[in-house]
Every structure is written in C-alpha cells, then in structure tokens.
Amino acid sequence: MREGQTTVIRREDYAAPAYWIDSVELTFDLDPAKTRVLNKMRLRRNPEVAAQALKLDGEELNLARVLVNGQGTSFKTEGDQLVLENLPTVTDAFDLEIFTTCAPEKNSKLMGLYVSQGTFFTQCEAEGFRRITYFLDRPDVMASYTVTLRADKKKYPVLLSNGNLVEQGDLDGGRHYAKWVDPHKKPCYLFALVAGQLVAREQRIKARNGREHLLQVYVRPGDLDKTEHAMNSLMASIAWDEARFKLPLDLDRFMIVATSDFNMGAMENKGLNVFNTKFVLASQATATDVDYANIESVVGHEYFHNWTGNRVTCRDWFQLSLKEGLTVFRDQEFSMDLAGEASARAVKRIEDVRVLRTAQFPEDAGPMAHPVRPDSYIEINNFYTVTVYEKGSEVVRMQQTLTSREGFAKGMALYFQRHDGQAVTCDDFAQAIADANPSSELARLLPQFKRWYSQAGTPQVAARGHYDAAAQRYTLTLTQSCPPTPGQAEKLPFVIPVALGLLYADGLEIPGSARTVVLSDAQTEVVFEGVASEPVPSLLRGFSAPVVLRYDYSDAELLTLLAHDSDPFNRWEAGQRLALKRALATIASGATEQPLDAAYLDAMRAVLRHPQLDAAFKELVLTLPSETYIAEQLEVVDPQRVHAVREAMRGQLALELREDWAWAYEQHHDTGAYRPDAVSSGRRALAGLALAMLCLAARETGDVVWPGKTYQRFKDAGNMTDRFNALAALVQSGHALARDALQRFHALFKNEALVLDKWFALQAGASDRGGDVLPAVKQLMKHPDFTLKNPNRARSLIFSYCSANPGAFHRADAAGYVYWSERVLELDALNPQVAARLARALDRWKKLAEPYRHAAREAIARVAAKPDLSNDVREVVSRALAEE
C-alpha cells in the first residue's frame, strides 16, 4: 500500500513521548502466510508531558483486538496510526493488549518480519518494528522484552530472540515453543527474532572479569565450515573492547545469525546480531582477503554497538551518528590495532580515507548533502549515509586528536557513567568527551567544534608558505572556507586539527617542526624559526581532518614527500597528487596520449622496487586515483574523457613498467599456506595488481606469455583472492581467454551465492575493452541465477554497472540512464530501500557535460514523474531535481 503522503520530519520538532512502555510481552505464532502477534504492554503516561491520546505506529498490519486492562476499548486509526483516546486518566500504569497478524512471506521490503529461504528474520531499524505490531516506534522508548515464539518444529527447529532462553518445549500438532527474556531494556529497533533450520558454531569464553559467555554463529546447514573467521573476529572484538575501552560483554549469550536476504551489512540487535551472509561466511576457496577484512570489521562494528548504540542509544533518529559515527570510529580503530605495526595501520587509514573521499565528499557536494546530524528527513532510511557513518567517524576521530588517545578513553568512560541506559544526543557525547578533558582544545572550543555536527559540506583548507631566507623563518598561512550546500548558504569556521611537519628538500624532517595546528579562525599563521633552507610542508598528516587540502605543490616537492615523509599517509597522498596533476592536465589539454612523464614513471618504479616498503602500501601507491575522485576535482565532467585519460595512464604505467611488474609478480605471488593477515594479503594484492598490469601491457605488445600465465594462475589458485585477481586481470584487459575463464568460474561456484555475486559484479564493472558492457548487463539479467529480489544479487549486477563503472554507464546515447531509471522503478515496487540507493547513482548529474547532463536530468525526471513512488525514492529524486 502506498500512502503517498510526504511528511517532512524536523529535528527541532522533537518532543518527548506522551507515554512510556515499561515492558512488552510478545507471543508469535509463526506462519509465513499469516503470523499472529499478541502484544501485551505495560504503559504509563509520561508525567512531564500534557495528557493526550496514545498514538501507536503500525504499518501493513491486520488489527484483530485491542484491550485496555483486559477490557475492550474504543479506538480509531489515523493514517497508519492506532489512536486510543479513552485511557485511564491517572498516571498509574495500565495494560494494553493488541492482537494483529501480518504476512511475512509477502514482505519483499525486508523490513519488519520476513522470510528468507524458509527462515524467519526481522529487521527493525529504523522503523520496522511497526510492521510487526503497533508500538511507540521511536528509540527513546525503552522497554523490557519477554518473547515467546511458537512454530512448526520440523520446519523451524531453531527459535531465537534477544537475551536468555528461559523455557522451551513441545506443543500439540508438531509445534514447539521457546521463551526468551532480555535482561536489558531496549528501544524496539533492537528487537529481533529468527526461526528456521540453522546450525551454529559455538564457543565458550571467559572474559577478563571472570564472566562466562556462550558465543554462537548461526548459519544454514552446509555453511558451518565458513564460520571460523567470523567467530575469531567476534572473540577479537570482545577482547579489544575490554582492553581499549574497558567495556565488557554484558550478556550470557551472544548470537550472530546470517541471512542471504538483507538490505544492508548487518544489524546490532541486542544479543542477536543479524548479518548479511557476505559479512559472515568465509573460506579461502570462496572469500577474498578483502572479504576477510570486511568480516572482521563488520563483526567488530556490530559487537561494538552493544555499548555504543545499545547501552546508550539515540534520543531520535537525527542523532544517528551518535551511535554510527562513534561505532565506525571504533571499528576502524579495532582493525588498525589488530593490523599491528605502523605501516599496516597506515594502509587501513588510507583505505578508510579513500572511501571517505570517493563516496562522502561527493555526497557532501551534491543534492543529498546533509550535516552529520541532519535537520530534516522524509525517509530516515535515506540517511544511513557515508556522511552519518564515515564523516561522523572522522568527527569522533578529531575529538580524539584534540584530547589525546588517553583523554578520549577518559571521555568515553564519563559518557557511559553519565548516560548508561539512556537515549541521548550528539551534544551529550561531545560534552562528555570535553568535560573529561577540561584543559583540552576540545573543551576550549566545544561550541564551535560542534559545527561539524550542524554544518554540511566539505571544508577546504588552503595553505601557502613563505620562506624568508635571511631570517631563516618559514611562515605557513592556513585559510579555511566551506562551499554552500542545499539549505545552508553561509558557513561559519570549523575547528580543524591540521597535523603537519616540515622536510628539507633532501627529505630530512626539520627537528621540532611536527605539530598539530588547530585552525579555528578563517585564517591562521604558523611561524617556524631557524629553518635553514626552503622547506617542503607535509600537511594534514594522517588525514587529521575531513577536509580538502589545497596547496600548490611542485613536482619536486611531491617527489620529496613520496620518497621521504615520515608520515606514510602523506607519502601515499604525494603519489596520488602526482597522478592527479597529470590526469587533470591531460583532461584539460584535450589530448589523451602519453599522460605520464618519465619523472612520474621513475618515481612509481622506485616505489615498486623499494626494498623496505610493504607490499600492501606499494599496491596503494601504484593504484591511480579513481575516475570518481578525478571527476570530483572538475567543475564540468565528461565521464568518457575522464575514463579515457585514466585508462591511458593505466596503459602507460603497465607498458613502461612491465619489467618491474614482472619482477613484482615473481617476488610476491607465492604467499604460502593461506592466511588472511596483513602481510600476506598485501603481497597478494600487489601480485594481483602486477598481473592486471601485465595483461594490460600484453594487449599492446602482443605478448601471449603473461595472459597464459594468468589463465594458469586462475585455474591453479589455492584461494579466492588469487583466483579472482587472475580472472579480473583477464576480464579487465579484455583478453580472449576471459570468456572461457568466466564460464569455468561459474561452473566451479554455481552453488556459492556470494561467489556468483562476484561473478556478476565483475562483468557489470568490466572495462569496455572486453566489449560493450550494457548489452552484457542486460543479458545477465536474464541469467537463471539472477534475481532482483535478493539485494546482494541486485547490487552485484545493477549497482556495479550504474555506480561503479562510470566509463560504461555514462553513454552518449543515454541508454545507461534509461536502464537505470527502469531498474529504479522496478526495484521500488519490491524494495524501496534498495531502490533509493540505486536512485543516488545520478546524484552528481549537474556536474556532467552535455549531452550527459541533459539526458541524466530527463532520466531522473522520468522516475520522479511516476505517481506512486515510495517516500524513499521520491526524496532522493526530488532533491536531485531541486533548483539550488
């Protein structure tokens, strides 16, 4: 049912709830066609709010009965809400019983209670609980839950919910039941149930404080051998949170359950995390190193939510970054601490910054730009964004930078001391960090610092240096500004920690020059005395703030930084800047041939052959900035031109360094028995890049040896990383062997859904060297393994084409955009959340050159003109078309 009402929800309209729900007893009679839900609540009026009707949220429910204190009562419905006016007037508690039914098997939105491969799952965040029963579906209403599940014992032998299993037994008619009690109060978005045929890997552990816990990872029978890494990641997460933040597990039992039908990565339901299989299942034969790393980080992320999100939750959904930004920060730190030494930490930091700059910076500059704490929304699901998550994490990271690692840990302790068991705001968080560090820069500048929460847009920091040789003085001037964003024309200065240091031209760091400058005015000057010769500034070390740094570096300066900076992040950044300069100059010149000069190629060769640098770091330096990142630097983007120039750069890098690539491959391809650790995965990554380059070079030279070797590698590989890298090298270079390799790959993995996703994604993301991509994508939609209903599969084919393959998607004949608009509409009828994500693929249409710009606008307008769009998609397309 589409209501078609678009209500804008505003942060400033927040009002405390008129009623509290203290406890909930839920009884489910699970049936895919018609599940019966009995909801017995104990409520009381909130004495601090004027007496008013009780309005409960509901969606797609069939209401059968409402009882107040056991008696029938009058009620009405207003839109989706159930309204009760004649409630007991005293503020004493009263019982409310509501009986409804719903149809899980018809639930294709995957919000609320649904069925995936014969198993029941729930997803309640943000507003899915209202699709299960009538409730005050808002995070500041926290209740105690008792849940009884009843179902057919054969079909649903495993019955799970939050907390502790207190009772179970058989019922008549082949049914059975299980009763769960959650010892912790929680908002309803953290409720979960799972019922089906599942098996579990189990592990009993004893925490530092002596408490014993049972850990379980539930999967479908047959997948148990792919759960070891997830379990190890969970144990590592528990140990890390105890060690770094003194936060223990507060439950006897902690469960993870995997499902293949899931809208996002995973969900932190109290004690019963539900995960996309993509972030649980791994074996060396089916998962790549990147998958292993993602599993570690998502398992960590959901586990860390147990404190940052569950014990202390959000007052309202505008505060989403309170839990998400903080928990991303925690999972990033976790992965970094696990990576160990400095170079591996830097690799993780570079990867995280790359995500921020290629996904969040464009968001911040486009029609969906919003502050880390948004001011309004139509559909909250549209605000689970890279801004709330990744920029939110950077905002937390800056708070750590401004208070020190120890100071920040003290701040976290104070935050829990003050707010455990509460639903709070981003202000409460920053206040606790500042109050625990009264003499810090954060405390001094707190009101201004909090502009990071309220102002959208990516700030720019322009740096200028002046060297006075006579006085041996170097003056660095830093100026900040921030472009306007929709609804925010003027921006006030941010508090920007700029970590920096100075190098002499020979690469030696000037002693005492390293520091963190806190830029809080529009402009500031930093003076360095006793500087013997003109220095090279290394600015924004470690990417100390989520800003665009402008400094007019010469090639010589960048080469110095690339070769010598003590900060590995800035070494990488110097390489990226060298490449970007060349890309931009070539794009501007109109020519495409030979974008790379000897200076750049020599520098890259030196990095590749460097005796000390890590393989993982080399792989990052030798990877060119993405087309998306290059496009963001331009006022007007011709995606075909960006694509052609970057491909020319890649081709040149491949050809001119081919002996070095061959050397790199021979040096790194053998990584021994498979282990997904930082060192060996770094070696595999570099060997993979080398193969890709060697296949690319072979196109020019007519060499048949390397493609042949690559094909052999594809066939013999002992792990998915090597196998997939070899396959990708053939596909991306458009080699004739790719066809056969793709077929073999499919035959080998036809029963492995997650591997088939890779197979679809690789073809949809392929370069046009192998032929026209769009017809191939359309053909793949007819493949028996394709289905639009499974979000992973839809993303693997459609998103890989529309969002991750700009060279193939932006076609002069507009066929890519037509395809996009058709899929958005088709998906919207099934699953609006997934559709709205796809709808964002054309966010940056205003930047496009003609004829793309006009065609893109038309495609968006076509979607917007559809009368019964979901709120999700409508919000995205109407913001895209807004004149601002």
| Catalytic (active-site) positions | 302
- Please pick, from the candidates 276, 277, 308, 381, the single residue that binds ligand B3K as defined by CB under 6 A: 381
Tell me if 379 contacts ligand B3K by CB under 6 A.
no
Question: Applying CB under 5 A, which part among 137-145, 206-214, 324-332, 731-739 lies near Zn ion?
Answer: 324-332
Which single residue brings its beta carbon nearest to ligand B3K?
125
CB of 742 to Zn ion, least distance (A): 35
| Contacted by 384, from Zn ion, ligand B3K, none: CB < 5 to 8 Å by type | ligand B3K
Question: Applying CB under 5 A, which part among 193-201, 319-327, 404-412, 605-613 lies near Zn ion?
Answer: 319-327
Bridge partners of 461? 480, 549
| Contacted by 837, from Zn ion, ligand B3K, none: CB < 5 to 8 Å by type | none
Label residue 883 exposed, middle or buried (CB < 10 Å: 0-12, 13-18, 19+): exposed
- Please pick, from the candidates 267, 299, 558, 687, the single residue that binds ligand B3K as defined by CB under 6 A: 267
Count of beta carbons in the 10 Å neighbourhood of residue 428: 17
Is-contact 318 374, C-beta < 8 A? yes
- Please pick, from the candidates 55, 201, 229, 301, the single residue that binds ligand B3K as defined by CB under 6 A: 301
| Contacted by 125, from ligand B3K, Zn ion, none: CB < 5 to 8 Å by type | ligand B3K
CB of 324 to ligand B3K, least distance (A): 5
Strand order across the 253-259 sheet = 199-206, 212-219, 253-259, 272-276, 266-267
- Between 187 and 501, CB nearer to ligand B3K: 187
Tell me if 517 contacts ligand B3K by CB under 6 A.
no
Chain length of the chain: 884
Is-contact 292 284, C-beta < 8 A? no
| Contacted by 140, from ligand B3K, Zn ion, none: CB < 5 to 8 Å by type | none
Tell me if 614 contacts ligand B3K by CB under 6 A.
no
- Between 308 and 792, CB nearer to Zn ion: 308
Interface mask toward ligand B3K for 101-130; x: CB under 6 A: ------------------------xx----
| Contacted by 218, from Zn ion, ligand B3K, none: CB < 5 to 8 Å by type | none
CA nearest neighbour of 664 among 652, 654, 672? 654
Question: Applying CB under 6 A, which part among 195-203, 289-297, 301-309, 495-503 lies near ligand B3K?
Answer: 301-309
Count of beta carbons in the 10 Å neighbourhood of residue 199: 17
CB of 125 to ligand B3K, least distance (A): 4
- Please pick, from the candidates 384, 449, 453, 543, the single residue that binds ligand B3K as defined by CB under 6 A: 384
Is-contact 807 627, C-beta < 8 A? yes
CB of 320 to Zn ion, least distance (A): 9
* Cis peptide leading into residue 851 (ω within 30°): yes
| Contacted by 381, from Zn ion, ligand B3K, none: CB < 5 to 8 Å by type | ligand B3K
DSSP state of 246: -
Residue 181's φ and ψ, nearest 5 degrees, are -125, 125
For strand 142-152 and strand 212-219, is the pairing parallel, antiparallel, or unpaired? unpaired
- Between 182 and 324, CB nearer to Zn ion: 324
Is-contact 853 845, C-beta < 8 A? yes
Tokens of 780: 């793949």
CA nearest neighbour of 600 among 619, 617, 615, 622? 622
- Between 297 and 719, CB nearer to Zn ion: 297
Radius of gyration of the chain from Cα atoms?
28
HSE-CB of 650 using CA atoms within 13 angstroms: 26
Tell me if 335 contacts ligand B3K by CB under 6 A.
no
Tokens of 527: 């003076």
Is-contact 449 402, C-beta < 8 A? yes
For strand 548-550 and strand 460-468, is the pairing parallel, antiparallel, or unpaired? parallel
- Between 266 and 738, CB nearer to ligand B3K: 266
CB of 111 to ligand B3K, least distance (A): 8
Count of beta carbons in the 10 Å neighbourhood of residue 744: 14
Question: Applying CB under 6 A, which part among 261-269, 552-560, 578-586, 865-873 lies near ligand B3K?
Answer: 261-269
- Please pick, from the candidates 59, 268, 565, 573, the single residue that binds ligand B3K as defined by CB under 6 A: 268
Is-contact 479 522, C-beta < 8 A? yes
| Contacted by 233, from ligand B3K, Zn ion, none: CB < 5 to 8 Å by type | none
List contacts with Zn ion (CB under 5 A): 324, 327
Binding site for ligand B3K (CB under 6 A): 125-126, 264, 266-268, 301-302, 305, 324, 381, 384
